[in-house]
A and B are shown apart, each in its own frame.
Chain A
């Protein structure tokens, strides 16, 4: 089976296209995760391929169906956190021997193909439709929702996995060289770390609205607290450390005004969700969570990095697209699980949504109020990437589990979990899903 990337027509990128034609007719049922690890120890059973298989099998089991009932796959083929397998390093032989290989030796180690998964999951006997989605689970969810809605497949597994290798983040490769190519030099010659663009937007935001970095503290503490109640997450599994005001406010700068704890930690992990039609979902093991809409932001900044004006305009547009297609308003949201890895754009996302009536420049004041899962205005109940490490999928798992009433310690209690929204990553360039406990 040849698998291609999802075509642009699958995404809901425009405003003014009305309510999603499949609103409430597609449901998420099963959730499956692998464990987490900081870096790969180069054993076969902890490879990105092995953990992908584990996440997929867990999602199937969670939905209470048999593998032969699955007829579609939507996966993200890119698995890197920024780490690439060194060209001069031999691949571990025991890993190669542990799996059925495709013609790409890095398949299942530093990337993932549908072909590799099907060769190594013989129980998936009825897959007749598959698509790739680029980079993020958020993107793959949009594609899978459309695939099921359009009837291209009726029971679809969605997968995103991450590999992280030995060595320090982004310190090898081009960054260690004495000279680089002319095209990448245009941007990278100045040594700005990954969080720099977001830090710039945050600096402009603070200047415009008279806010400061310390005002982020309640959001950081709340996110880590929620993350420590996420048994699938990295911090809960490996280093159950809460954060205090002092911990955050005194931390070293990476690119001022972004500090160490404004950045998420790169990890290895995999997650999968089982999507199916609302009709079929009724007979499965878990309570169905209905998809009301999916929306895509495809804006491109004019310059090297988005300006605050561009960010605010795009987040507002994304908010309008999200609500229009779902046929809801901001007042219908029980909770929000917008992306946070970097912390300093979470406020752009929720201001664009007008979450709890806030507008641009309001979020940091909103963070000073009760934003806990016990209150009526829960912010990032998943804890996001700050709470559980860089997966860009905790917010989706949490949204599904909140609406199924099985978010455990993270279950929101100050408001009934009826409708939630999750997605990201960037203010310019992201994918969003609206989830509901009921189909209408």
Chain B
């Protein structure tokens, strides 16, 4: 079970969208450039005044993965070993998100495979974007 999430002012739009089963990513409207994790300013133009949240298609591909056998987070230790994959979004492959790939056995990860976003409840009920392999 993932730890719960306490949204802060800065990331609240991401987390409230997740609770409505929507994936939004921060975008600089001036540069037309997405960035994740969100930041106080655009990584390219360094301005914080043109940042907005943009809804994504929820499609991506598995770029790479590791298998975690010794995790520092107490709530996840019972699930070891587990996959932590890096998903690149179809909307912009430069945007990466981590995933436990629910439904994919540990170390049996099809690198390059298509994935779709799903929304999973964490320990305090806050939902978080996760990814499932498209079969």
Partner-B contacts on A (CB < 8 A): 169-171, 175-183, 185-193, 196, 199-200, 203-204, 207, 252-258, 300, 302-305, 307
Q: Which residue of A lies closest to B38 (CB)?
A: A186
Q: Is the CB of A182 within 8 A of B14?
A: yes
Q: Is the CB of B67 within 8 A of A255?
A: yes
Docked pose: A252 CA to B69 CA in angstroms? 8
Q: Is the CB of A179 within 8 A of B123?
A: yes
Q: Is the CB of B36 within 8 A of A304?
A: yes
Q: Is the CB of B98 within 8 A of A203?
A: no
Q: Is the CB of B95 within 8 A of A303?
A: yes
Partner-A contacts on B (CB < 8 A): 2-8, 10-12, 14-15, 36-38, 43, 63-76, 81-82, 84, 86, 88, 94-100, 107, 111, 122-124, 126, 128
Q: Which residue of A lies closest to B9 (CB)?
A: A182
Which of A171, A179, A254 is most buried by chain B, counting CB atoms within 10 A of its CB? A179
Q: Which residue of B lies closest to A307 (CB)?
A: B63
Which residues of the partner chain A approach B107 to less than 8 Å between Cβ atoms? 256
Q: Is the CB of B67 within 8 A of A191?
A: no
22 example contacts (A-B, Cβ-Cβ < 8 A) are as follows A171-B74, A178-B3, A179-B6, A179-B124, A181-B5, A181-B8, A183-B8, A186-B11, A186-B36, A186-B37, A191-B73, A192-B66, A193-B70, A254-B70, A256-B66, A256-B67, A256-B107, A303-B88, A303-B95, A304-B37, A304-B97, A307-B63
Which residues of the partner chain B approach A256 to less than 8 Å between Cβ atoms? 66-67, 69, 81, 107
Q: Is the CB of B8 within 8 A of A178?
A: no
Docked pose: A176 CA to B75 CA in angstroms? 8
Docked pose: A284 CA to B82 CA in angstroms? 57
Docked pose: A185 CA to B111 CA in angstroms? 24
Which residues of the partner chain B approach A200 to less than 8 Å between Cβ atoms? 64-66, 86
Q: Is the CB of B3 within 8 A of A196?
A: no
Q: Is the CB of A182 within 8 A of B66?
A: no
Q: Is the CB of B66 within 8 A of A258?
A: yes
Which residues of the partner chain B approach A176 to less than 8 Å between Cβ atoms? 74
Which residues of the partner chain A approach B100 to less than 8 Å between Cβ atoms? 190
Q: Is the CB of A305 within 8 A of B84?
A: no
Docked pose: A25 CA to B79 CA in angstroms? 57
Closest Cβ–Cβ distance, residue A129 to chain B (whole Å):
31
Which of B10, B63, B75, B124 meets A183, CB within 8 Å? B10
Closest 4 CB pairs of A and B: A179-B4, A303-B96, A182-B11, A191-B71
Docked pose: A10 CA to B65 CA in angstroms? 38
Docked pose: A211 CA to B124 CA in angstroms? 43
Q: Is the CB of A193 within 8 A of B68?
A: yes
Docked pose: A176 CA to B76 CA in angstroms? 10
Docked pose: A302 CA to B43 CA in angstroms? 8
Docked pose: A207 CA to B71 CA in angstroms? 25
Docked pose: A261 CA to B123 CA in angstroms? 33
Which of B4, B70, B98 meets A178, CB within 8 Å? B4
Docked pose: A439 CA to B21 CA in angstroms? 64
Docked pose: A208 CA to B119 CA in angstroms? 33
Closest Cβ–Cβ distance, residue A184 to chain B (whole Å):
9
Closest Cβ–Cβ distance, residue A261 to chain B (whole Å):
13
Q: Which residue of B lies closest to A169 (CB)?
A: B72
Which of B4, B14, B70, B86 meets A252, CB within 8 Å? B70
Which of A187, A193, A303 is most buried by chain B, counting CB atoms within 10 A of its CB? A303
Q: Is the CB of A196 within 8 A of B68?
A: yes
Are A255 and B66 also in contact (CB < 8 A) when A175-B72, A180-B5, A182-B6 are?
yes
Are A181 and B6 also in contact (CB < 8 A) when A189-B128, A190-B84, A203-B64 are?
yes
